[in-house]
Amino acid sequence: MPGPLSHVRVLELSRVLAGPWAAQTLADLGADVIKVERPGAGDDTRAWGPPWAGEESAYFLSTNRGKRSITIDFERPEGQELVRKLAAQADVVIENFKVGGLVKYGLDYDSLKAINPGLVYCSITGFGQDGPYAKRAGYDFMIQGMGGLMSITGQPDAEAGGGPVKVGVAVTDVFTGLYATIGVLGALAHRDRTGEGQWVNLALLDVQVAVLANQAMNYLVGGKAPQRLGNAHPNIVPYQAFATLDGHIILAVGNDGQFAKFCQVAGRPELAQDPRYATNPARVANRKELVPILELLLEQRTSRDWLSALEAVGVPCGPINDVSQVFADPHVQARHIHQDLPHPTAGSVPTVASPIRYSATPIEHTVAPPTLGQHTDAVLEEALGLCAADIAALREKGVV
């Protein structure tokens, strides 16, 4: 069944993670995504292994599902002209070059807008198109530090192992890719009403500050910079990981009723009546006194015992799984999150399915991440009307 964006063509001039993540999301929604790569090398992440599936790195496979790959050297005038012709037929262009990096090739927004006024052009940079840092390169790790995320991630400085820690996934890139997708969809909706395209700009630093969410507001409202709390929550108690008799669990009490139920299961119902702990604001204020009491209670029973007893009364809790346990989880399996896609050289490759579920236009993953230049001939013939001899001549010159 055609996806909701089956009428949209995307020309991707990006690499690594944020841009490709946006393009993959649009491909999941049915868009025809043509990924332009460097001849002979391609997206940087093609070399970011091990591990490998055949000759493809797992990293590349994670963010390029559903696309067609075409190799064009747009440092050459002939290559620039090919990309411009493709852009003239595209609905969306996604690029993540440095500020002004595509001007010299005539592939910047102003140049492409002149030939395609309805084009939605999405630029992703580290720091945006203006401001004192605009010309700097930006990478997820450094943005996690600059954008405050590492100041609230990890154990408190005074505790063993304390200090700044990055998140284990490049979340700033992923969030930027998702915000880029949202921005593109909004611009397409505007174009559908007016016929007018526009330039959508994303900066990793902007996104990282935005997704500080409640922590940013805690500072703006309270005037005090949040600090690292390990696995604890700044605004809710108890909402953290606890050691049990044989491991750890997460206890995520979201309201006073759930706390009372926990106390009943733990054999300490009086804690929920104590004015120091009866309400969440009181529990937050008396965190240092309450948490040690809970730690002593939790370590007396096994994880399985706690999870079974708490789930039975509706107290939010859960295990702390490693990635192998995640994919072995019966609920994850029932949701078909792990799927396998046929691949031209590896036989098949795994993929992690999109979490978006539509009732009328369900997402179907059928196209594996492409091999380098896999679709060059087909795209040039189909989109630009080039014949085999034309393509062979371009290949002989090293343009494609």
Lookup: tokens for 26: 């649009």
SS3 state of residue 177: helix
Please state whether the peptide bond connecting residue 50 to the residue before it is cis, i.e. omega within 30 degrees of 0: yes
CB atoms within 10 A of CB 63: 24
In terms of Cβ atoms closer than 10 Å to its own Cβ (0-12, 13-18, 19+), residue 314 is: exposed
Q: In sequence order, what are the residues at sequence separation of 6 or more whose Cβ sits closer than 8 angstroms to the Cβ of residue 27?
A: 10, 33, 65, 66, 67, 367
349 near 368, Cβ under 8 Å? yes
How far apart CA 190 and CA 287 sit, in angstroms, is: 49
| β-bridge pairing 92-95 and 9-13 | parallel
In degrees rounded to 5, what are phi and psi of residue 367? -115, 120
225 near 273, Cβ under 8 Å? no
CA dihedral 32→62→125→100, nearest 10 degrees, is -50
**Kind plus residue range of the DSSP H or E element containing 125:** strand 120-125
How far apart CA 88 and CA 30 sit, in angstroms, is: 20
Instruction: Please pick, among 32, 91, 173, 206, the residue that the annotation labels catalytic.
Output: 173
In terms of Cβ atoms closer than 10 Å to its own Cβ (0-12, 13-18, 19+), residue 190 is: middle
Catalytic residue at 329? no
How far apart CA 20 and CA 122 sit, in angstroms, is: 12
Catalytic residue set: 173
